[in-house]
Amino acid sequence: MEINDKIYFTNLTKYKSKINKNITYPEIISEIDYLSAKIRTTAKDALSELISVNIARKEISNILDDIKYLKKEGTKNVTLG
């Protein structure tokens, strides 16, 4: 694993998503927290070389997309409601 990858994944082991104050649905907040934990776990797995760097990057990218979607949905429902 290259140094850049180690730095990237080390930083992600501390990842915590910022929750928008407009999101009031506990289930969305819980799901975002769960996905944040999944990012930290994937980063740790990549650092310990349990999974390849490419697979870890792809998984993390997908999870970040999911978090972005949940945040968008959470704020949309608050605005419309």
DSSP 14: T
pLDDT value for 78? 54
Averages of pLDDT over each 10 residues, the chain, 81 residues: 93 91 84 96 96 97 96 70 45
Q: How far is CA 18 from the centre of its chain?
A: 10
For 45-68, give the secondary structure using H, E and C: HHHCCCCCHHHHHHHHHHHHHHHH
What is the distance between the alpha carbons of residues 6 and 69, in angstroms, rounded to a whole number? 27
What is the distance between the alpha carbons of residues 59 and 65, in angstroms, rounded to a whole number? 10
